[in-house]
Structure 1
Amino acid sequence: MAHDNDKAATPHLDQTNPTVNALPDQNSLTSPHGHDGDTALDASTPSEEDAIRYPSGFKLFALMLGLQLAVLCVSLDNTIIATAIPKITDQFQALSDVGWYGSAYLLTFCALTLLFGRLYKMFSVKWVFLSCLALFEIGSLICAVAPSSVALIIGRAIAGLGGSGIFSGALVILAYTTPLAKRPIYTGLFGAMYGIASIIGPLVGGAFADHVTWRWCFYINLPFGAVTATSLILFLHLPKRQKNHAAGTSFWQTINSFDPFGTIFFLASVICILLALFWGGSKYSWGSGRIVALLVVFAILLVAFTVVQYFVGENATIPGRLIKQRSLASAAAFAMFVGASFFVNIYYIPIWFQVVRDTSATTAGVNTLPLLISFTVGAMGAGSVVTKLGYPTPFMYALSVIGSIGAGLLNLYTVDISTGKWIGYQILFGFGIGIGMQQPILLVQAVVPLSDVPIGTAIIIFSQMFGGSLFISVAQNVFITKLVEGLAGISNLGVDPKSIAGAGATTDPSLFGITDPAVLSQMKVVYNNALVWTFKIALITTCLSALAVLGMEWKSVKAEEKPTNNGEVSTDSTEIDVAKRGL
């Protein structure tokens, strides 16, 4: 059992690791009541502390290993297919579906993050987590055996659904399995695992695509998931009160607490806008009835969602009182634009290497290391400086400046660009994005009341992931449109440009009877120009992030020592700032 100095009224939030903190409302996740944020995990009472018997030794090792593997798999799925996409499109002859391979996963991942917060509050954390893990594994299996591009997209969507609950559940389980004093160590490990997975994802995906099959990008999740499930089933034992806290709630009260109408309206509106952006200008003209109908329905559903959020109050998916906080609203917009820039480049830079520079998928993954490593270095360096100085807002300004310069330089990619330039441009972009991408979470922790910190961080992560899913679809639409236009400009191509655009990105042109060196050279230039247009999307969104920064407060999150009731010293910066505001 934990010592007295390990007790806390709420699960601890690691102020230095925003990636791991970006989860649904943890103060309400284990609340015995049905109101969000009204009550926190009452772990400081003797009966509650007695009920929690922290595992140690092999049990703790097995649980942490299982959770780390789960976080690894979910994080890998963000980037692992980036270098495998050309091989996938070659097999399915579905280049026009590239955007959906990323968007389907990101969409369900980000859209349901807040909903899973309510599920963890109302039901057993252990079995909700295992259910999420099962969904993720089922989705991975569908992707691995997919007979068509549509099946792969469906599998990605199911995997994203499960993944959205895995992240939040991992931190909740951590609160029950480690004492407060040791918890930052393990949350730090989760953050490190996320960074490692982001870096090795394209490398692993490229290696599988080149030397085995791209399907192993998804098969790899199955054994890791089995280890996680086994460790949790055997060694995770939660307090009985937490397991049964929904017993006194009626069925309809439980349903209403999930904001069912708001969730339905929100998901439907997101699907409509994504379909409109994905099809508009490529499959259908922007003035076609289908696209206009999708945009109109999107607007109606968005209005309906807003109205529902107003009337359901604290049961709202996104409480209105938080959106009214200008720094939170600005931070959410900033996160959306930055997430869009990061994910668009992560997906299309590897394609550029394979199509324009004729590299293998593995080499394309290696060639993206400058971006990913510089991103990690920037994030870690900025985190250290903010810890000392206390102000995250200046780093968001720096992102808008340095990131925009880097994104602009990526637009200078040409067929014969030198190695030093394509490496240097990636480094500048990656470092610029890294120093500010996670700072909005730190700012939110400083400007909202303590009970709203978890939901605030969840809103930021949702915005980040939604920006990625939204603008990957936009970039794909632009890419196909510009590719078809460019190919149509080659006078002696001899093939319908749409046929080439509909084939795989690395399909051998000789399959279309194209062998003339002059034509092949022109095609490579067209592909380069079309891909550079996706980099322009990243440039635009990075520049737009500067507008969002203007609405943010300059609030310090620097930890200060403060005596607690029992004479110990607290360095919880969020509590200090809340106390200063009299909240």
Structure 2
Amino acid sequence: MDNEKRASQQLDSVAVPLPPIPPVAKPENGTSNTPSDAEETLEYNNPTDEETTYPTFWKLVLLSIALCLALFCISLDQTILATAIPKITDQFESVGDNGWYSSSYLFATASTQLFFGKLYTMYSAKWIFLAGLAIFEIGSLIAGAATSSAMLIAGRTVSGVGAASLFPGSIIIIVSAVPLRQRPIYVSLLGSMHGVASIVGPLLGGVFTDHISWRWCFYINLPLGAITAICLLFFFPPGAPPQGGLPWNEQLKHFDLIGSFFLIPGVTCLLLALQWGGRQGISKYPWSDARIIALLSLSGVLLVIFCAIQVWQKDKATVPSYLIRNRNMFGALLYIMGISGAMFICMYYLPWWFQAVKSVSATKSGIMSLPTMLGLVISSIICGFLVTALGYYTPFLIVSSMVGTVGAGLLTLLKTNSGASQWLGYQVILSVGLGMGAQNAFLIPQVAVPKTELATATAVLTFIQTLTSAIFLAIGQAVFQNQLVNNLAVYAPSISPELVFATGPLRLQYQIPAESLPAVVGAFNAAITEVFYVAVAGCALSVVGPLFLEWKSLKKAEHKE
């Protein structure tokens, strides 16, 4: 692609200024520059687009396919198991382990995302990405060949470690391969893979489980990963890392091993407490159980120590404090916390509503949820083109939060007799709102921080997205359990809550007496719609984030990159 074709024209419009804030002080013990203003930051992002050599069109096409396949694999790993777990637990006689097949993957991913962010700043993105992909593939191979439940959990854990490197790595690779003004399209395309996997995953899992073997839920990653590896090996050159060339003792300091020593067990304890805790008699342990209290307390202590270490380490920290003090990064974090939490709540509980209230199968509930998934994918891609055309992402984030809040609020109005026009329309509004901004948030670090810190900033956003989603789901679970128990006491006092929870939404019509079924369904409807208020709160929180963002044109910023 010729340089003339890559050169963008500046917009004639004037950026809308926001009130100035005091500049962030430069770290005392490092050389990194930490400007708080995005325009200052762009001065560090050299060389300019005119001086940068980007891949040719066909190389970029192959690279995009490779990255999309990698992200499709890690997203598929989170959605394909839903229909396979019953067959797996039957084969291994491990009903008590079924929660670990998903949570072990999540724990490993959340615990290592920030570490990979540091690796991307010190070493070539190409080789770190390929190493992470290899780890993910090894984990998939172990899980697919598992001869016991413990071996399957071990494979899932290994896959989770590899998966932690792939999304931030994809963003870093796109940054080096695509001019700034065109990146919204590619970032949206990458982000849409989660929506595609959410549609395909349960259906593909059912096909593999019923007609081939559940093991192919993991083996499917091997050929897709091989295609990704081949494309990267032959069509993407290894670039110089932002902070490469440091002696090994300096590299060790930048890895913040002391901070990681406290972060990983802190995150693990928190996620374990959220996984195990709940209402007495329903979850593994009640919230008042000494084990849950100990896990939460230990998690709090470890994470507070981690935060103190980050302040002490300054620019060598896993999460440098000046990233949080940067107004644009702070706004991005607030936005991603709210919008991700809301998205996962809706994607998790909408199928439950269809199964419990509309009495449909798991497969049909997935089909009835298609408007949400398709809306997320389509609106994300369209918004990527619009941001590229207009140059501004901030207005789309604002509209995303507002429309998402309205969509989540509409879900709280669902009734047992709600028709297709309602649950279809509500999903469309919700998905358009969430899809407009969820991936655009990852554009913010590209104009908010120096390139030397871009990998770290992207990893921080990804980590917050993962952790917040788990926390919101735990809050949603607590609301659901409490509301369902309370509603059953009002609507169907003769029905035991323990029986309802043990039955699950799919078998209500078979296990609950016919005369009590309408009341139980009503209790489910009231409980699930209360959970959607958690999604409303998440979307409302995300509204605050864009208020901190400066209105910077990607077209104008490109000339300073």
TM range (shorter): 0.7 to 0.9
Q: In angstroms, what is the RMSD of aligned CA positions?
A: 4.4
- Describe the shift of the 1:87–1:545 C-alpha distance in structure 2 as closer, same or farther (beyond 3 A): farther
Instruction: Give the match for residue 572 of structure 1.
Output: 558
SS in 2 for 1:352: helix
Instruction: Give the match for residue 542 of structure 1.
Output: 539
Instruction: Give the match for residue 249 of structure 1.
Output: 247
Q: What one-letter code is carried by the residue in structure 2 that aligns with 1:559?
A: K
Instruction: Give the match for residue 380 of structure 2.
Output: 379
Q: What one-letter code is carried by the residue in structure 2 that aligns with 1:287?
A: S
- Describe the shift of the 1:143–1:191 C-alpha distance in structure 2 as closer, same or farther (beyond 3 A): farther
- Provide Cα deviations, 1:236-283, integer angstroms capped at 9, x if missing partner: 6647x87x966x723x44333211121222222222233333433334
Shift of 1:463: 2.1
User: Could you tell me whether the CA contact under 8 Å between 1:93 and 1:504 is conserved in 2?
Assistant: no
Instruction: Give the match for residue 402 of structure 2.
Output: 401
State the alpha-carbon separation in 2 of the partners of residues 397 and 184 from structure 1: 20
Q: What one-letter code is carried by the residue in structure 1 that aligns with 2:535?
A: A
Shift of 1:482: 4.2
Instruction: Give the match for residue 221 of structure 1.
Output: 221
Instruction: Give the match for residue 286 of structure 1.
Output: 287
Instruction: Give the match for residue 457 of structure 2.
Output: 456
User: Is residue 113 of structure 1 aligned with residue 113 of structure 2?
Assistant: yes
- With 153-162 and 407-416 compared, the bigger mean Cα shift is at 153-162
User: Could you tell me whether the CA contact under 8 Å between 1:95 and 1:505 is conserved in 2?
Assistant: no
User: Could you tell me whether the CA contact under 8 Å between 1:142 and 1:152 is conserved in 2?
Assistant: yes
User: Could you tell me whether the CA contact under 8 Å between 1:446 and 1:555 is conserved in 2?
Assistant: no
- With 421-430 and 435-444 compared, the bigger mean Cα shift is at 435-444
- Describe the shift of the 1:209–1:487 C-alpha distance in structure 2 as closer, same or farther (beyond 3 A): farther
Shift of 1:335: 0.9
User: Is residue 164 of structure 1 aligned with residue 161 of structure 2?
Assistant: no
Shift of 1:368: 1.7
State the alpha-carbon separation in 1 of the partners of residues 472 and 95 from structure 2: 17
| TM-score (ref. length: structure 1) | 0.74
- Describe the shift of the 1:148–1:417 C-alpha distance in structure 2 as closer, same or farther (beyond 3 A): farther
SS in 2 for 1:408: helix
Shift of 1:359: 2.6
- Provide Cα deviations, 1:395-451, integer angstroms capped at 9, x if missing partner: 333333321221121122333321111101111111122223344444454444565
SS in 1 for 2:314: helix
User: Could you tell me whether the CA contact under 8 Å between 2:116 and 2:459 is conserved in 1?
Assistant: no
Shift of 1:525: 3.2
SS in 2 for 1:506: helix
State the alpha-carbon separation in 1 of the partners of residues 222 and 451 from structure 2: 38
User: Is residue 555 of structure 1 aligned with residue 556 of structure 2?
Assistant: no
User: Is residue 265 of structure 1 aligned with residue 251 of structure 2?
Assistant: no
- With 298-307 and 376-385 compared, the bigger mean Cα shift is at 376-385
Instruction: Give the match for residue 26 of structure 2.
Output: none
Shift of 1:97: 8.0
- Provide Cα deviations, 1:498-538, integer angstroms capped at 9, x if missing partner: 3552466535765xxx3632234444333333433432321
State the alpha-carbon separation in 2 of the partners of residues 438 and 127 from structure 1: 25
State the alpha-carbon separation in 1 of the partners of residues 237 and 508 from structure 2: 56
Which gives a bigger RCO, structure 1 or 2 (Cα 8 Å, sep 6+)? Answer: 2
- With 534-543 and 446-455 compared, the bigger mean Cα shift is at 446-455
State the alpha-carbon separation in 2 of the partners of residues 132 and 5 from structure 1: 36
Q: 5+ residue gaps in structure 1?
A: 13-33, 561-570, 576-583
Shift of 1:344: 1.7
Instruction: Give the match for residue 131 of structure 2.
Output: 131
Q: What one-letter code is carried by the residue in structure 2 that aligns with 1:109?
A: T
State the alpha-carbon separation in 1 of the partners of residues 96 and 507 from structure 2: 14
1:296-445 alignment to 2 at 5 Å?
296-387=297-388, 390-445=391-446
State the alpha-carbon separation in 1 of the partners of residues 417 and 96 from structure 2: 26
| TM-score (ref. length: structure 2) | 0.76
Q: What one-letter code is carried by the residue in structure 1 that aligns with 2:376?
A: F
Q: 2:523 aligns with which of 521, 526, 530?
A: 526
User: Could you tell me whether the CA contact under 8 Å between 2:188 and 2:381 is conserved in 1?
Assistant: no
SS in 2 for 1:287: coil
Q: What one-letter code is carried by the residue in structure 2 that aligns with 1:71?
A: L
SS in 2 for 1:318: coil
Instruction: Give the match for residue 274 of structure 2.
Output: 277
User: Could you tell me whether the CA contact under 8 Å between 1:334 and 1:549 is conserved in 2?
Assistant: yes
Instruction: Give the match for residue 30 of structure 1.
Output: none
SS in 2 for 1:540: helix
Q: What one-letter code is carried by the residue in structure 2 that aligns with 1:545?
A: S
- Describe the shift of the 1:74–1:381 C-alpha distance in structure 2 as closer, same or farther (beyond 3 A): same
User: Could you tell me whether the CA contact under 8 Å between 1:108 and 1:160 is conserved in 2?
Assistant: yes
Instruction: Give the match for residue 21 of structure 2.
Output: none
- Describe the shift of the 1:437–1:102 C-alpha distance in structure 2 as closer, same or farther (beyond 3 A): farther
User: Is residue 517 of structure 1 aligned with residue 518 of structure 2?
Assistant: no
- Describe the shift of the 1:574–1:273 C-alpha distance in structure 2 as closer, same or farther (beyond 3 A): farther
User: Could you tell me whether the CA contact under 8 Å between 1:396 and 1:439 is conserved in 2?
Assistant: yes
State the alpha-carbon separation in 2 of the partners of residues 93 and 169 from structure 1: 38
Q: Aligned residues, how many?
A: 522
State the alpha-carbon separation in 1 of the partners of residues 151 and 523 from structure 2: 30
- Describe the shift of the 1:64–1:337 C-alpha distance in structure 2 as closer, same or farther (beyond 3 A): closer
SS in 2 for 1:112: helix
- Describe the shift of the 1:36–1:171 C-alpha distance in structure 2 as closer, same or farther (beyond 3 A): farther
User: Could you tell me whether the CA contact under 8 Å between 2:183 and 2:388 is conserved in 1?
Assistant: no
1:16-165 alignment to 2 at 5 Å?
65-81=65-81, 104-123=104-123, 125-144=125-144, 155-165=155-165
User: Could you tell me whether the CA contact under 8 Å between 2:278 and 2:286 is conserved in 1?
Assistant: yes
- Provide Cα deviations, 1:17-60, integer angstroms capped at 9, x if missing partner: xxxxxxxxxxxxxxxxx97779999989xxx99xx997997x88
User: Could you tell me whether the CA contact under 8 Å between 1:107 and 1:465 is conserved in 2?
Assistant: no
Shift of 1:188: 4.4
- Describe the shift of the 1:356–1:270 C-alpha distance in structure 2 as closer, same or farther (beyond 3 A): same
- Describe the shift of the 1:497–1:351 C-alpha distance in structure 2 as closer, same or farther (beyond 3 A): same
Q: What one-letter code is carried by the residue in structure 2 that aligns with 1:524?
A: V
- With 304-313 and 321-330 compared, the bigger mean Cα shift is at 321-330
State the alpha-carbon separation in 2 of the partners of residues 150 and 504 from structure 1: 26
- Provide Cα deviations, 1:337-357, integer angstroms capped at 9, x if missing partner: 110000121122223323432
SS in 1 for 2:223: helix
State the alpha-carbon separation in 2 of the partners of residues 373 and 555 from structure 1: 29
State the alpha-carbon separation in 2 of the partners of residues 93 and 418 from structure 1: 40
State the alpha-carbon separation in 2 of the partners of residues 138 and 36 from structure 1: 36
- Describe the shift of the 1:407–1:471 C-alpha distance in structure 2 as closer, same or farther (beyond 3 A): same
- Describe the shift of the 1:41–1:6 C-alpha distance in structure 2 as closer, same or farther (beyond 3 A): farther
SS in 1 for 2:409: helix
Shift of 1:115: 1.7
Q: What one-letter code is carried by the residue in structure 1 that aligns with 2:473?
A: I
- Describe the shift of the 1:468–1:102 C-alpha distance in structure 2 as closer, same or farther (beyond 3 A): farther
Give the % identical residues: 35
Q: What one-letter code is carried by the residue in structure 1 that aligns with 2:274?
A: L
